[in-house]
């Protein structure tokens, strides 16, 4: 990445990325925001850009932010929680180019600055995996994480294939100079097969980062029972030493 970036404040927070699309980053980011708020932390959810947004009354709706809004009891408008919305189900840079626009980093920075001034902790969700392009092919999700300078939380699947995807994601973050808080295995089955049972230990050994939680399959995340189950599963994350370092402000890249 070689570009002049808008100025943003350095804040406490975490950047939630995934090994791929549809691994449940939104559920984990929204649930983590709700869990932090239930624990008394003045936390807010933020997703810079979302593709595949449905249209309602002539407006594109950030459905991921809407889930976080509902789950965490946030009063902020969707346009602030996700300042850039795109209609096509493509990588943001591609979806934007198809309609003749570009993702505006200043718009993202303005929303980020506003939320940073109101909240003590930001839970930031990426878009897809780390190498998804946000602006042309020169500014990726990984560049966004580096710009925000937040420690990274990796969300992964529990089953076959996740060792490679998870370790590669962790190594990419580390190579970029950002700390990796740990890994959450999402939709962990009640009766895991051999791959799901053995993967956690192998991922920890190869990546050098801890599995912070195994979040179970939750049938209905829109109801109170589902929300309670998710918060219960994520409370263990807040109790881990790796997370405590974040809350103490130690989980950031040192610059200069």
Nearest to 126 by CA among 234, 33, 25, 19: 25
To which residue do tokens 């850039």 refer? 84
The 3-state DSSP class for residue 114 equals: helix
Q: Which of 33, 13, 103 is nearest to 75 (CA)?
A: 33
Spatial distance between the Cα atoms of 68 and 140, rounded to a whole number of angstroms: 23
- The active-site residue, picked from 47, 87, 214, 250, is 47
Is residue 25 annotated as a catalytic residue, yes or no?
no
Which pair of tokens denotes residue 131?
């190498």
62-96 b/e (C-beta count within 10 Å ≥ 16 → b)? bbbbbbbbebbebebebebbbbbbbeeebbbbebb
234-253: b or e for each residue (b if 16 or more CB lie within 10 Å)? Answer: beebbebebbeebbeeebbe
**Residue 55 to residue 52: CA distance in whole angstroms:** 10
Instruction: Show the tokens assigned to 94.
Output: 């591609």
Just list the catalytic residues. Answer: 47
């Amino acid at each position: 990445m070689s570009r002049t970036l808008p100025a943003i404040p350095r804040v406490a927070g975490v950047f939630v990325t995934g090994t791929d699309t549809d691994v449940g980053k939104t559920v984990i980011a929204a649930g983590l925001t709700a869990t932090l708020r239930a624990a008394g932390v003045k936390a807010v959810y933020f997703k810079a850009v979302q593709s595949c947004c449905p249209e309602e009354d002539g407006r594109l709706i950030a459905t991921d932010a809407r889930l976080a809004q509902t789950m965490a009891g946030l009063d902020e408008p969707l346009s602030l929680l996700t300042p850039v919305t795109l209609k096509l189900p493509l990588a943001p840079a591609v979806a934007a180019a198809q309609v003749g626009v570009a993702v505006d980093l200043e718009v993202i920075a303005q929303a980020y600055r506003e939320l940073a001034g109101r909240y003590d902790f930001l839970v930031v969700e990426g878009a897809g995996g780390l190498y998804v392009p946000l602006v042309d092919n020169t500014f990726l999700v990984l560049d966004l994480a580096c710009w925000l300078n937040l420690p990274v939380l990796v969300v992964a699947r529990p089953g076959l294939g996740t060792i490679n995807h998870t370790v590669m994601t962790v190594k990419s973050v580390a190579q970029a100079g950002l700390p990796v808080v740990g890994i959450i295995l999402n939709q962990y089955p009640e009766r895991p097969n051999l791959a799901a049972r053995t993967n956690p230990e192998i991922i920890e050994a190869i990546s050098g980062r801890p599995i912070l939680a195994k979040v179970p399959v939750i049938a209905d995340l829109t109801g109170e029972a589902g929300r309670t189950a998710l918060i219960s599963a994520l409370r263990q994350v807040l109790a881990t030493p790796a997370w405590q370092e974040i809350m103490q402000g130690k989980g950031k890249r040192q610059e200069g």
